[in-house]
Amino acid sequence: MRVVSIAGLTLMVAAMAGLWGTHSLLSRSPFVIGAQVAAVGLVLWARITFGRRSFHAAANPTEGGLVTTGPYHYIRHPIYTAACLFGWAGVLAHMSVVSVALGGLLILGSVMRMLTEERLVAQRYPAYRQYAQTTKRMVPYVF
């Protein structure tokens, strides 16, 4: 599980670095800027809601109970959602085979992390299973 989790994080970081390196991450488009500002806002909201818990390279459930408030009330993985929103805003602004491939790696890495995290959190917090039945992973009412 830890290996899959770290591999997912590695893919996410590599995808974002690749988008940055190919000048496909940022744009002057107001739509891209708006989406990326929203993504940063979502990360900040999620981190503030999650509290002083630390970030782990491997998906490890933290002490302190299950968080189901703030953005977690609407989606289970707001930070991964924000990363994908930020990256894909750039991909859509700079469409190319390379940028789409990097965007695909970003989503793949995020899904790997989400699935691993969900399994571990469900083991630690049995209430997670019920929470997961009523809350989508990334997009409310869709996925």
Could you read off the pLDDT of 22-65 as tens digits, one per residue?
999 999 999 999 999 999 999 999 999 988 776 777 777 777 78
- Asked if the structure places residue 143 within a domain, the reply is no
pLDDT exceeding 70 applies to what percent of the chain? 99
- Asked if the structure places residue 58 within a domain, the reply is no
Choose among 96, 117, 92, 112: nearest CA to 12.
Answer: 112
- Distance, CA of 118 to CA of 76 (rounded, Å): 9
Question: What are 108's two structure tokens?
Answer: 């793949």
Domain that holds residue 119: 2-52+64-134
This prediction's pTM: 0.92
- Asked if the structure places residue 142 within a domain, the reply is no
Residue 142 reports pLDDT greater than 90 = no
Question: In the prediction, which pLDDT does 129 show?
Answer: 94
Please name every residue paired with 75 in a beta bridge, in sequence order, or none if there are none.
136
